[in-house]
Amino acid sequence: MKKSTSPLAAFVFLAACSLFVAAPSALSQTTPGTGGGGTGTGGQSGSGGASEEDGINGFWEVVLPTGRFVVQLNHISSVSQHTYIIDGSARVFEVTVDTTGPMTARFYYIEPVTDGSPLSLGKNTIDRLREVAGEVSSRTGGPDMETDVIKHYPDTTHAKTAEYRLQVKENLDRIYEHLHRVWAEEKGRGQKNKLTIRNE
């Protein structure tokens, strides 16, 4: 009997494959934290191309190049920012937004951590891999390994999770700090409750 692939194994395999095609875009950037260059309440663009503006009253919205997430503020149950390692091969920086309903939003940035990762291949090799991957994707209409979230049907496609993969690590700080202010501090009474990130 043919054994089925578990969702976790599929995620680990696909994430590892993507690491050998797409090098991290910001290797020298700092780890997400509470002081990581948020946009503040003034709504001015930051280095990652993020800006704030007034949105729908009572809601929080984040707009990214690969999609958007909108949730009613009183339906948010928790917001977390954390880091974990997948099978010793990839480090994931993540912001998770849990709701009182079945939906969870995950915003994450992935970088390799092992000696066999693209970090040890050298810049020329990585550039060539990226070039080849881009050529293949353009010819076949395949996924963009730097930004696309790869899921396994139907286990993860119907898991009530909205996932967004970022290219700039600092944008995780911007997402967390903006939501923390709008939801936990202002409790929906403030303005600038819509965050737009033009460069993941």
**Rounded CA separation 28/161 (Å):** 30
Region label for 160, one of left (φ > 0), alpha (ψ between -120 and 50) or beta (otherwise): left
**Rounded CA separation 163/107 (Å):** 6
| Amino acid code (one letter) for 135 | E
- The C-alpha angle 94, 80, 89, rounded to 5 degrees, equals 30
Q: E-assigned strands of the chain?
A: 50-53, 59-64, 67-72, 76-86, 90-99, 104-112, 161-165, 194-197
Contact of 17 with 69, CB cutoff 8 Å: no
Separation of CA 13 from chain center: 18
* Of residues 50, 43, 52, the one with CA closest to residue 194: 52
Q: Which pLDDT belongs to residue 72?
A: 97
Residue 136: other Cβ atoms inside 10 A: 13
Query: What are the pLDDT digits (tens) for 131-148?
Result: 655 565 555 555 555 556
In this prediction, residues 138-165 reach a mean pLDDT of: 65
- Residue 111: phi, psi to the nearest 5? -140, 150
The model scores a pTM over 0.75: no
Of 15-19, 24-28, 172-176, the range with the highest mean pLDDT is 172-176
| Amino acid code (one letter) for 104 | T
In this prediction, residues 77-105 reach a mean pLDDT of: 92
- Residue at token pair 């919205």: 61
The model's confidence at residue 82, banded by pLDDT at 50, 70 and 90, is very high
